[in-house]
Amino acid sequence: MNAGNRIDNAPTGAYGVGRSMSTTAYHRSALFLRDLAREPIEIVRGEGVYLFDDEGRRYLDGASGAAVASLGHGNAEIADVISQQARRLAYAHPSKFATREALELGQKMIERAPDGLTRVIFTSGGSESNETAIKLARQYHLGRGNANKYKVVTRRTSYHGATLGALAVSGQIGRRQPFAPMLLAQPMIAPTSCYRCPFGQQPESCHLECADDLETALLNEGPENVAAFIAEPIVGSSAPGRVPPDAYWRRIREICDTYDVVFIADEVMSGNGRSGRWWAMQHTDVSPDLLTTAKGIGAGYTPLGAVLAREEFHAVMQSVPGNFRHGHTYSGNPLSCTVGSKVIEIIERDGLLANVAARGLQLQQRLDEAIGAHPYVGSVRGRGLLMGIEFVQDRATKKPFPVEVDFRTRFSHACLAEGVYVYQGGGNVDGRRGDHALLAPPFILNEAQAEEMVTGITRALERVTRELPV
C-alpha cells in the first residue's frame, strides 16, 4: 500500500461478521461503553476456549480477554466453589477480620512465589496492585528515614494501569495525554526491545544499554529522591511478548540494590502461570522486592489482584505508627480468594503449566511458518502463552503504519470475522505509533485449537492485506 494515500476505508464499525439491528440498542442503553464508535458483540455464553455471541457465532478466545480467563469459560468446579462460598461467607471487612480463604490463598501464593517474597496484600485488580506497591515502596522508605525518596522510575511505552498513580508510571502517550496535567512527572527510561533497540544495537553488540539507562536516570534524578523502579518481566499489552535477556534483570537488580531503589515487577499479565512458570521472574535468577499481579489469578471468574512483598516491608510497616496507610474495601474478600485458591489447584492438578509451555512453542513455530515472512509482520515473539505480533508497514526499515490506518483495529476485526478474538494494541514504537496484537489464549488450549488460532490469524492477515487502501 501507499501510506501517502488518503485512508478512505478506515474501520468503521463492521466486524466483517455482520451485526443484527437488535444490537444497536446498546447505544440507546444505559451502558457507558468503552468503545463508543462501534457496536459491541453481545456475548451470551462461554465454554472452554470459546465465546458465543447472541447470534450463535463462536469465537476462539485467543487472548483470554486480556490475559485473564486462563482456565477458559464455564468451568463447573469454579462455579461450584463460588456458589458454596457465597452461601458460607461473602464478605468481612479487612480492618478487623481475616478469613480462612484469604489465609489459604496467601499461603499458596507465597509457596509458589519468587525467592524472598513472604507477604501478600490482596487487591481487586492490576491498577490497584500497582498503586498499592508504589505506596508501599514510598512508606517503606519513609519508615526507614528516607523521606526524600518518592519518585518511581518507569520505562517508556509501558503500561501499568489506568488510575492516576499507575498511569503516571505508564509510558503510553495516548493513554496519558488527556490527563497529562494531573499526572505526577515520573522519570522514564528506555524500554527493552531486541527487535527495535532504542540504542540501535543488535543482540551480538548489546551491552545492556537499556538496563544501564536506569542508573543514568537515578544519577540524573538523584538516587536519594527515587523510591522504586517498575517494569514488566514480559511485556503485555503495550508491546506484547518482549522478553529481555536474563542479564538485563541481573543488572537491574544490581542497580536497585546499589541505590536502595525498590524493584517492582509488574506481573499483572505475565504472572499466575502465563509464562509456563508461576511467575515470569522465575525464568531468571532474579527476584523483585515487590511483585504485583491480578488478571489470571481470578481467571475472569472474580476481580482479584495481589502484591507480594519481601519480609522487610512487613517489618518496617509494623514499626511505624498506623502501619501501612492504605487499603481497599474488597481486599481479600473470601469469594475472590476461594476462586484464586481453586485456580491454583486446577492449574497444578491438570498440568497446565506444561501445556502453556508446549502450546506457546507450537504457536511460535506455526505462526513463524504461516505469517513470519509476511510483509506486514515485523516480529512474532513471546514466552509461554504471552505472545505478540508486531506489525510494520515496511519490514526492511521496521517503519510502523501511520496511526490513521488503524492497522490494529483492522486486524482484530478481521480476526473476529475468522472466528478468533485477539487483543489489539499499539504504541510499541513510541507510546503512540506501532500496531500489535496480543495472543494469550487460555491454558487449556489444545493442539488442534492452537492450529485453529493460526489458521484464523493467517486468514485475517490475508483479509486485511487485501482490504488495505492502495
Contact with ligand PLP (CB under 6 A) among 71, 262, 294, 316 = 294
Least CB distance to ligand PLP at residue 223 (A): 25
| Residue 233 buriedness (CB in 10 A; 0-12 / 13-18 / 19+) | buried
Binding status of residue 66 toward ligand PLP by CB under 6 A: yes
Binding status of residue 237 toward ligand PLP by CB under 6 A: yes
Binding status of residue 131 toward ligand PLP by CB under 6 A: no
Q: Give the span between the Cα atoms of 404 and 392, in whole angstroms.
A: 14
Binding status of residue 156 toward ligand PLP by CB under 6 A: no
Contact with ligand PLP (CB under 6 A) among 105, 255, 268, 387 = 268
Least CB distance to ligand PLP at residue 129 (A): 7
Binding status of residue 126 toward ligand PLP by CB under 6 A: yes
Binding status of residue 386 toward ligand PLP by CB under 6 A: no
Binding status of residue 123 toward ligand PLP by CB under 6 A: no
Least CB distance to ligand PLP at residue 232 (A): 5
User: Distances from the Cα of 46 to the Cαs of 317, 346, 428, in angstroms?
Assistant: 43, 18, 31
Binding status of residue 130 toward ligand PLP by CB under 6 A: yes
Least CB distance to ligand PLP at residue 124 (A): 8
Contact with ligand PLP (CB under 6 A) among 112, 151, 160, 277 = 160
Least CB distance to ligand PLP at residue 191 (A): 13
Binding status of residue 127 toward ligand PLP by CB under 6 A: yes
| Residue 1 buriedness (CB in 10 A; 0-12 / 13-18 / 19+) | middle
Binding status of residue 296 toward ligand PLP by CB under 6 A: no
Residue with smallest beta-carbon separation from ligand PLP: 126
* Residues touching ligand PLP, count (CB under 6 A): 16
In the bound state with ligand PLP, the residue whose beta carbon lies nearer, of 238 and 449, is 238
Whether 384 and 360 have beta carbons less than 8 Å apart is answered as yes
CA 142 and chain centroid, separation? 30
Query: What torsion do the CA atoms of 14, 15, 18, 23 make, to the nearest 10 degrees?
Result: -80
AA identity, residue 177: Q
Q: Which long-range contacts (CB under 8 A, 24 or more apart) does 446-454 make?
A: 446/359, 447/359, 447/362, 449/49, 449/60, 450/359, 450/362, 450/363, 450/366, 451/366, 452/60, 452/419, 452/420, 453/60, 453/62, 453/363, 453/420, 454/363, 454/366, 454/367, 454/370
Binding site for ligand PLP (CB under 6 A): 66, 125-127, 130, 159-162, 232, 236-237, 266, 268-269, 294
